[in-house]
């Protein structure tokens, strides 16, 4: 009996997805709840589990197809077993042919996305010898590139003299092009960012922050903090709490426009931009204004790990009243971040570097960071934006303000 596997509910307001890759091919054994396909939504990749145990049947759609919630993806034959060739047939086959078939079969059992398969063919590596670091041990393009690099750096035995090149050989130093279809997530990122520029009156204000006090506090308490809370004390916790002070004092920065109304929030849900294999995602630290440093750091660390593993959910990224994006981890000195609609403001953090500054009439070297606040000028006046950024600066330069709510 064949059971249909349908596109599951993908989250609030999400009605369709793109088939990213098939994790099971027709004839493969499938366990109950074992993922058989990966779907790409606007924000996350979603694994589709098998509702029954059996054998993978027919794929009803292809990789790259757009499917709606409830559509049939494939069938699973319940209670079956993977098809196998009779033992007698194997014994009758000539030895060289049997060896070739076994080798190909081993390689085919490695689940690879189109991008990974292209990399395997391009670099001539054996996928069965590579340990995957992706979800459920799947190969990623980075795994293949690392294996290819390792292979190139390994001294090889002296090859036999190669025949002279023929006229049909490809010329050295050729210029190639590759066309790769944008993932649904990348398409959505592009649309949302362009939409933000088209619909909002974007403006950015800058300031710089002396990070001496925060660095000193981290150095002094990092070991005790890690021992007590089992989490590393990072910079993001400081900026999240400093932002909460600013959003409380300047409510418009924590609001958004809906039609001809302004929606204000009496809570702070901070979207934190983290890097994922398919692009930038923004999971939400909810009620950041009510959480302590340890819980904020734990939430962010958990989001980062799950973003790399591809296990973030739609719920993790829904909502959010304000965004913090840290380009400094990639070495950015200064940038003008774009707001995350329908939010009205985003805080951009950048790298810390020693710079000469004047303190009490003396030139001293201090660890400085440029910070930027991009905002929707339709809702937030320049005075309010500058005030909010100044509050964040003062809280970072004097962390005691975060303890006594100044």
Strand partners, 354: 367
Instruction: Work out the percent of the chain whose per-residue pLDDT is above 70.
Output: 81
pLDDT at 192 over 60: yes
**What string of H, E and C letters represents the secondary structure of 47-98?**
EEECCCCEEEEEECCCCCCEEECCCEEEEEEECCCCCCCCHHHHHHCCHHHH
* pLDDT for the residue 393: 96
Q: What is the pLDDT of residues 124-146, one digit of tens each?
A: 777 778 877 776 677 777 777 78
pLDDT at 17 over 90: no
Q: What is the mean pLDDT of the chain?
A: 82
pLDDT at 5 over 70: yes
Averaged pLDDT for residues 39-51? 79
Distance of CA 294 to the CA centre of its chain: 23
Phi/psi at 71 (5° precision): -70, 150
CA distance linking residue 9 with residue 77, whole number of Å: 23
320 close to 282: Cβ distance less than 8 angstroms: yes
144 close to 150: Cβ distance less than 8 angstroms: no
- Sign of the torsion angle spanned by Cα atoms 66, 307, 321, 370: negative
Mention the CATH class of domain 185-404. Answer: alpha beta
CB-based contacts of 30, cutoff 8 Å, min separation 6:
24, 36, 50, 52, 53, 54, 55, 56, 76
Give me the active site residues, please.
377, 381
pLDDT band at 84 (very low <50, low <70, confident <90, very high): very low
- Token pair, residue 146, equals 């690392």
Q: For residues 195 and 293, which has the higher predicted lDDT (pLDDT)? A: 293
Phi/psi at 37 (5° precision): -155, 155
pLDDT at 185 over 90: no
* pLDDT for the residue 136: 65
Q: Whole-angstrom distance between the N-terminal and C-terminal Cα of the chain?
A: 67
CA distance linking residue 175 with residue 77, whole number of Å: 47
pLDDT at 94 over 50: no
pLDDT band at 171 (very low <50, low <70, confident <90, very high): low
Q: For residues 59 and 132, which has the higher predicted lDDT (pLDDT)? A: 59
Averaged pLDDT for residues 293-315? 88
Instruction: Work out the percent of the chain whose per-residue pLDDT is above 90.
Output: 40
Averaged pLDDT for residues 102-121? 55
DSSP state at residue 165: P
264 close to 255: Cβ distance less than 8 angstroms: yes
The C-alpha angle 322, 327, 329, rounded to 5 degrees, equals 120
Topology (CATH level 3) of domain 1-83: OB fold (Dihydrolipoamide Acetyltransferase, E2P) (2.40.50)
pLDDT at 175 over 80: yes
Closest-CA residue to 348 (of 360, 336, 366): 336
Q: What is the pLDDT of residues 231-259, one digit of tens each?
A: 999 999 999 999 999 999 999 999 999 99
pLDDT at 351 over 80: yes
* pLDDT for the residue 245: 95
pLDDT band at 195 (very low <50, low <70, confident <90, very high): confident
Domains of the chain, residue spans: 1-83, 85-152, 185-404
- Token pair, residue 65, equals 């197809």
* pLDDT for the residue 374: 96
pLDDT band at 397 (very low <50, low <70, confident <90, very high): very high
Phi/psi at 222 (5° precision): -60, -40
pLDDT band at 301 (very low <50, low <70, confident <90, very high): very high
For every residue of 333-394, DSSP letters joined together read: S---PPP-TT-SEEEEE---EEEEEEETTEEEEEEEEEEEEEEETTTS-HHHHHHHHHHHHH
* pLDDT for the residue 13: 63
């Amino acid at each position: 009996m064949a059971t249909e596997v349908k596109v599951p509910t993908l989250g609030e307001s999400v009605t369709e997805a793109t088939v990213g890759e098939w994790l099971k091919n027709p004839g493969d054994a499938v366990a109950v709840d074992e993922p058989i396909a990966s779907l790409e939504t606007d924000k996350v990749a979603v694994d589709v589990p098998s509702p029954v145990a059996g054998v993978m049947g027919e794929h009803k759609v292809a990789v790259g197809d757009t499917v709606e919630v409830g559509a049939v993806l494939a069938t699973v034959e319940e209670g079956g077993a993977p098809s196998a060739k009779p033992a007698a047939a194997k014994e009758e086959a000539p030895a060289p042919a049997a060896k070739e078939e076994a080798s190909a079969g081993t390689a085919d059992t490695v689940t690879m996305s189109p991008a990974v398969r292209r990399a395997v063919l391009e670099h001539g590596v054996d996928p069965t010898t590579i340990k995957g670091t992706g979800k459920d041990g799947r190969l990623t393009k980075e795994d293949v590139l690392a294996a290819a690099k390792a292979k190139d750096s390994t001294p090889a035995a002296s090859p036999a003299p190669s025949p002279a090149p023929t006229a049909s050989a490809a010329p050295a130093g050729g210029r190639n092009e590759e066309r790769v279809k944008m993932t649904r997530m990348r398409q959505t990122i592009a649309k949302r960012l362009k939409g933000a520029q088209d619909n909002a009156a974007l403006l950015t204000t800058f300031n710089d922050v002396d990070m001496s006090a925060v660095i000193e506090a981290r150095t002094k308490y990092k070991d005790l903090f890690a021992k007590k809370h089992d989490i590393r004390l990072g910079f993001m916790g400081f900026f999240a709490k400093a932002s909460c002070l600013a959003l409380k004092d300047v409510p418009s920065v924590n609001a958004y426009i809906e039609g001809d109304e302004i929606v204000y929030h009496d809570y702070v849900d901070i979207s934190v931009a983290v890097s994922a294999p398919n692009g930038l995602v923004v999971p939400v630290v909810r009620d950041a204004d009510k959480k302590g440093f340890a819980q904020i750091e734990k939430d962010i660390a958990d989001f980062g790990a799950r973003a790399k593993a591809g296990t973030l959910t739609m719920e993790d990224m829904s909502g959010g009243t304000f965004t913090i994006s840290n380009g400094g981890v990639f070495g950015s000195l200064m940038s003008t971040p774009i707001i995350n609609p329908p939010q009205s403001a985003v805080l951009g953090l950048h790298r810390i570097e020693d710079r000469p500054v004047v303190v009490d009439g003396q030139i001293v070297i201090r660890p400085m960071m440029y910070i930027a606040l991009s905002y929707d000028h339709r809702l937030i006046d320049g005075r309010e934006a500058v005030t909010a950024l100044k509050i964040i600066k003062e809280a970072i330069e004097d962390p005691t303000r975060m303890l006594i709510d100044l």
